[in-house]
Amino acid sequence: MDDSCLQYRLADDERQQFEEQGFLIVRGVVPAEKVAVLAAAAHRIDAEWRPKRGVKPHHPLNVLDAIGKDDAFLALLDLPQTFMKVVDILGWHIQLYHSHLIVTPPLPVGYQPRRPRLGWHQDSGRLNLELEGEPRPRVSLKVGFFFSSTRQTNRGNFHVVPGSHRFNQLDLPENPLQDHPNATPVCADAGDAVFFDRRLWHAPGLNRSDVTRTVLFLGYSYRWLRPRDDMTVAHYLPGADPIRRQLLGESPNGGFGYTSPADEDVPLKTWLAERLGANAVIP
Mean pLDDT along residues 130-140: 97
Q: How many Cβ atoms sit within 10 Å of the Cβ of residue 131?
A: 14
Reported confidence tier of residue 91, pLDDT bands at 50, 70, 90: very high
The answer on pLDDT for 283 being more than 80 is: no
Peptide bond into 227 cis (omega under 30): no
Rounded Cα distance between 92 and 220, Å, is: 11
The answer on pLDDT for 90 being more than 90 is: yes
The answer on pLDDT for 56 being more than 90 is: yes
Reported confidence tier of residue 245, pLDDT bands at 50, 70, 90: very high
Reported confidence tier of residue 187, pLDDT bands at 50, 70, 90: very high
Q: Name residues whose C-beta falls within 8 Å of residue 261's C-beta, 6 or more positions apart in sequence.
A: 93, 223, 251, 253
Give me the pLDDT at residue 244, please. 98
Give me the pLDDT at residue 281, please. 83
Give me the pLDDT at residue 160, please. 98
Give me the pLDDT at residue 156, please. 97
Give me the pLDDT at residue 232, please. 95
Q: Which sequence spans correspond to the domains of the chain?
A: 3-240
Instruction: From the options 3.40.190.170, 1.10.10.10, 3.10.310.30, 2.60.120.620, give the CATH code of 3-240.
Output: 2.60.120.620
The answer on pLDDT for 222 being more than 90 is: yes
List Cα–Cα distances, 232 to 7, 201, 216, 242, 249, in angstroms. Answer: 31, 29, 16, 18, 11
DSSP secondary structure letters along 29-60: -S-HHHHHHHHHHHHHHHHHHHHHHT--TTS-
CB 218 within 8 A of CB 76: yes
